[in-house]
Amino acid sequence: MMSFEEIRRKEKIRILPEFQKIATGDPLRVGVLFSGGPASGGSNVAAGIYDALMAVNPKSELIGFLGGPSGILEEKFKTLTLSEIDLVRNLGGFDLLGTGRTKIDTPDQFEKAKEVIQRINLDGLVIIGGDDSNTNAYFLHDFLLKNEVKCSVVGVPKTIDGDLKSKDVEISFGFDTACKVYSEMIGNICIDAKSSLKYWHFIKLMGRTASHVTLECALQTCPNIALIGEEIAKEGRTLKQIVTIVADTVDERARDGKNYGVILIPEGLIEFIPEVAGEIPAELLEDRDSHGNIQVSKIETEKLLSKMVRDELKRRGSVAKFNPTYHFFGYEGRCGFPSEFDATYCYNLGMNAALLINNGKSGVMAAIRNVAKEVTDWKPSSVELGPILVEEMRNGKMKKVIAKALVDLQGPVFKSFLLQREQNRLQDNYKRPGPIQFSGPLKEITTITLFLEHN
Ligand code: FBP
């Protein structure tokens, strides 16, 4: 019997009309690498690049750099074969090549990258990454251009965090799948809470500084509380005020006979409330990744918050039977089978990236417009990276970067959340979206965020 993995791998992905007839040309040598955390759909980006290159000329080659950007610096790469690509089609994971967070940004590193690119004679390099990696893609492009090296650098918008988006890049790939995976599990937990009647579930969710993942999962599952970091920052809420909101809810629900509930906490909460930082061991705050980001996934904000809620309930002499239990949903959502949306989006992003290189474009991010609509309405496009860079303080220095897109508190997604927040607090309005669908009428459904933002 064929496994689901084998069946899914062979599934045909829809190709945009623009890519169905590709003009033939000279063979191309293109490099590809994954950068940063995995996100579902990355293997379809590689497959899309591969298939487009072969359509241009079957003598083309796709060279994969191993372990992320360090694969260039350490000269670790291999030519990808059709059978290797076929093994990962429509599956999650960056295991085709591995990924990493090494940054190419010192003069020596640029020089080394240039030397390797020239030696292996690349016509183009595709960097599959988030805001920081696409920023680096721009600077590598700029360096190669100034040094008259004819190698296009093209970025592809990846991150489960959903914080790499603009009017031109409607969504980063991986966000749709990750939110669906988390929402399935959150929905299950909500129903478990309502069945077991005895636990308060504190669920921390990945997403870095931005609360897009938490907001999307809240819309999909209607938990009792979902904290949104951007709102807390804007209102200037203190840790004590947040503890009060949660304790009030626990208390009020207990008085209604409900000693259970579900609360979603974005992992980036800590970045918005300075006092939380005061409660965290200093070494965890000093532990930064190569881009200067605090490693928020390692900080147990959910336990800290629950401990403070317990103390507050005790102080009040509350009748609540407060029995907290903890979850962190993060890595579970980064390598799941890509949703139909991510599988289709990524394959076409990959084709687009290869064809942008074929057309000599560099310093751009591959994009697809109208993705909130039917696939038949999708349109390939590209975004110049240079003009979207802004000056920001990073690691104590002003740097040009792609700004992280945070939750827009005036936008339709947050407004839609506000409409239901108060009701969800005390009532059990839980929704269970169930697992990702790969066939049938629900397979095309995308995130509520994308739908609300573009309809
Ligand atoms: P990217 O920005 O590289 O896409 O990372 C996404 C992410 O999953 C964050 O949500 C999370 O905070 C971080 O990676 C965890 O990093 P690591 O994989 O290094 O533990």
**CATH code at 154?**
3.40.50.450
Q: How far does the centroid of ligand 1 lie from the alpha carbon of residue 36, in Å? A: 7
| 3 state SS of 78 | strand
CB environment 314-341: b (16+ within 10 A), e (fewer): eeeebebebebbebbbbeebbbbbbbbb
Give the global pTM. Answer: 0.96
256-312 pLDDT, tens digit per residue, is 999 999 999 999 988 887 777 666 666 656 666 666 667 777 778 899 899 999 999
Q: What is the structure's pLDDT at 298?
A: 73
pLDDT cut 70: percent of the chain above it: 96
Quote the CA–CA distance of 226 and 224 in Å, as a whole number: 7
Range of the domain at 96: 4-174+338-402
Q: Are residues 208 and 342 in the same domain?
A: no
- Give the per-residue pLDDT at 292: 66
What confidence score (pLDDT) does residue 291 get? Answer: 64
| 45, 160, 267, 288, best to mutate for ligand 1 pocket (most atoms within 8 Å of CB) | 160
Query: What region does 395 belong to: left with phi over 0, alpha with psi -120 to 50, or beta?
Result: left
Ligand 1 centre distance from Cα of residue 280 (Å): 20
Same domain for 269 and 239, yes or no, is yes
Mean pLDDT over the full length of the chain: 95
pLDDT at residue 428, rounded to an integer: 98
Q: Is the CB of 404 under 6 A from ligand 1?
A: no
Report pLDDT for 273: 79
Output the residue whose Cα is nearest ligand 1's atom 7: 37
- Look at residues 360, 379, 402 and tell me which one is the last residue of a structural domain: 402
Instruction: Residue 162: name the closest of 217, 204, 202 by CA.
Output: 217
pLDDT beneath 70, residues of the chain = 277-293
Residues 278 and 345 in one domain: no
Please report the pLDDT score of residue 288 as a whole number. Answer: 64
Residues 125 and 48 occupy one common structural domain: yes
CB of residue 206 inside a 6 A radius of ligand 1: yes
Show which residues are catalytic.
161
Q: What is the pLDDT of residue 227?
A: 97
Task: Report how far ligand 1's centroid is from the alpha carbon of 297 (Å).
Answer: 8
